[in-house]
Amino acid sequence: MKVLVCLSEWLVPIVIFYIVGFGVLSERPVFDDFLKGAKEGMTTVSGVMPTLIGLMTAIGVLRASGFLETVSEILKTPAEVLGVPVELVPIVFVRMISSSAATGLVLDIYKTYGPDSLIGNIVSIIMGSTETIFYTMSVYFMTAKIGKTRWTLHGALIATIAGIAASIFIGNI
């Protein structure tokens, strides 16, 4: 473990010095290249910001309105039949939209049940094996100016369902 800590402390500075050194030896304008990349990054951020604000607002409205609790109550019986703990239903929906909002719900589960509980283990695996489908699609497709998503949503939903099923299975082992 000490080797990994030492390696992680030294790796980032070594990579930075390597990149800068390679640029200087190649007679590249390193600082100008850095500024150009920073400007492009800011352009990307300004293009993505409206989508991000809209998604975060939608999640706030869903949490404040009680919609997630209502959906959990409606899906309580089907979730129990499928072996899905009812406490995970809101996280499954929110995770498809926003990772940070799902993280907030996960922290609530950790406070209530503990991170080493069955539900804590399952939700941890869910967070690691699923993706924020709608956020990722909206940001990447908007940035790349792709209008037709074709089968992306279908494939992402199937992958998410598989990740949730695997999380429940692995968490129960």
Q: Which of 84, 86, 87, 91 shows the shortest CA–CA distance to 59?
A: 91
Mean residue pLDDT of the chain comes to 86
Whether 127 is in a domain gets the answer yes
Q: What is the pLDDT of residue 80?
A: 84
Whether 60 is in a domain gets the answer yes
Query: How many structural domains compose the chain?
Result: 1
Q: What is the pLDDT of residue 142?
A: 76
Q: At what angle do helices 30-65 and 133-143 cross, to 10 degrees?
A: 140
pLDDT mean over 14-42: 89
Q: Is 148 left (phi over 0), alpha (psi -120 to 50) or beta?
A: beta
Q: What is the pLDDT of residue 72?
A: 83
Q: What is the pLDDT of residue 100?
A: 80
Q: How far apart are CA 101 and CA 133, in angstroms?
A: 14
Q: How far apart are CA 36 and CA 45, in angstroms?
A: 14
Residue 113, number of CB atoms within 10 A of its CB: 16
Q: Which residue range is the domain that position 102 belongs to? A: 46-171
DSSP secondary-structure letter at 145? T
Torsion, Cα 61 62 63 65, to 10 degrees, reads: 80
Residues recorded for the chain: 173
Q: For residue range 55-108, what is the model confidence (pLDDT) as tens digits?
A: 778 777 887 888 888 888 888 888 888 888 888 888 888 888 888 888 888 988
pLDDT at 51 over 80: no
Cβ burial, residue 116 (10 Å; 0-12/13-18/19+)? exposed
Q: Which amino acid is at 9?
A: E
Whether 93 is in a domain gets the answer yes
Assess contact for 127 and 103: CB atoms under 8 A: yes
Assess contact for 79 and 86: CB atoms under 8 A: yes
Q: For residue range 104-120, what is the model confidence (pLDDT) as tens digits?
A: 889 889 999 999 999 99
Whether 6 is in a domain gets the answer no
Whether 1 is in a domain gets the answer no
Whether 41 is in a domain gets the answer no
Whether 72 is in a domain gets the answer yes
Assess contact for 96 and 88: CB atoms under 8 A: no
